[in-house]
Every structure is written in C-alpha cells, then in structure tokens.
Amino acid sequence: DTEVTQTPKHLVMGMTNKKSLKCEQHMGHRAMYWYKQKAKKPPELMFVYSYEKLSINESVPSRFSPECPNSSLLNLHLHALQPEDSALYLCASSQVSRQALNIQYFGAGTRLSVL
C-alpha cells in the first residue's frame, strides 16, 4: 500500500473559521510533509515532521499550525486565513533512513478556498 490519504478533498472556509486538514499513511514512513501549491506553480514546502517532531518550518505564518499526533497521522490546523491562502495543500510521506532516497509519496491534496 503506497497510498497517502488526505481529507477533505475540498474545503471552503471564511476568514474567521477554524478548520483542519488531515493526512494519513500506513507505509511505516516516519517523515511527513506539508506542501502548498498555487495554480500552475510547483509545490512549496511548508513543514516537515521527522519521528513526530517538527523538523522544518519554512517560515510559515502562525495561522497554519501543524500537528503530528502519531507516526501515521499529520494534521494542519487553519485559523484566520486570508484569501491568498487559497491553494491545493499536499501531504507527503517518506522513509527517514540516510541510505534511503527519501522518495516522497504524495496524497491527492485538499483544495482550499478562503472567502
């Protein structure tokens, strides 16, 4: 099973709402990632978790709050977002071993619209 599952597939929220994106994998991967992808642009890295600890934060605004409650789950909590935050949010996972090539497996994404 090489599947990364993201829910919901689509989300519409107002600027005062609080919502969460969820990502799940059962490949035993201990590194998990959040990316943001604007239309016709490549994905941009937001956060990396390694062994359930935050390893990389690419200077993401605090209105995005990641959480890794266990090795299979990754959440992204959203609060007070702006319309420019509308994008496709992608989750990925990979092995952590230095010998492994950290091939990342991506989910299909959550398409977020902020009104």
Partner 1 sequence: DAKTTQPNSMESNEEEPVHLPCNHSTISGTDYIHWYRQLPSQGPEYVIHGLTSNVNNRMASLAIAEDRKSSTLILHRATLRDAAVYYCILRLSGTYKYIFGTGTRLKVLA
**Are 82 and 114 within 8 A, CB to CB?**
yes
Q: Is 43 in the site for partner 1 (CB under 8 A)?
A: yes
Give dist(CA 73, CA 68) in Å, integer: 6
Tokens 């062994």 -> residue: 51
Site for partner 1 in 18-37 (CB under 8 A): 31, 33
Does the footprint of partner 1 cover residue 66 (CB under 8 A)? no
Residue type, 10: H
45 lies in the binding site for partner 1 (CB under 8 A)? yes
Binding site for partner 1 (CB under 8 A): 4, 31, 33, 41-45, 48, 50, 55-56, 90, 92, 94, 101-109
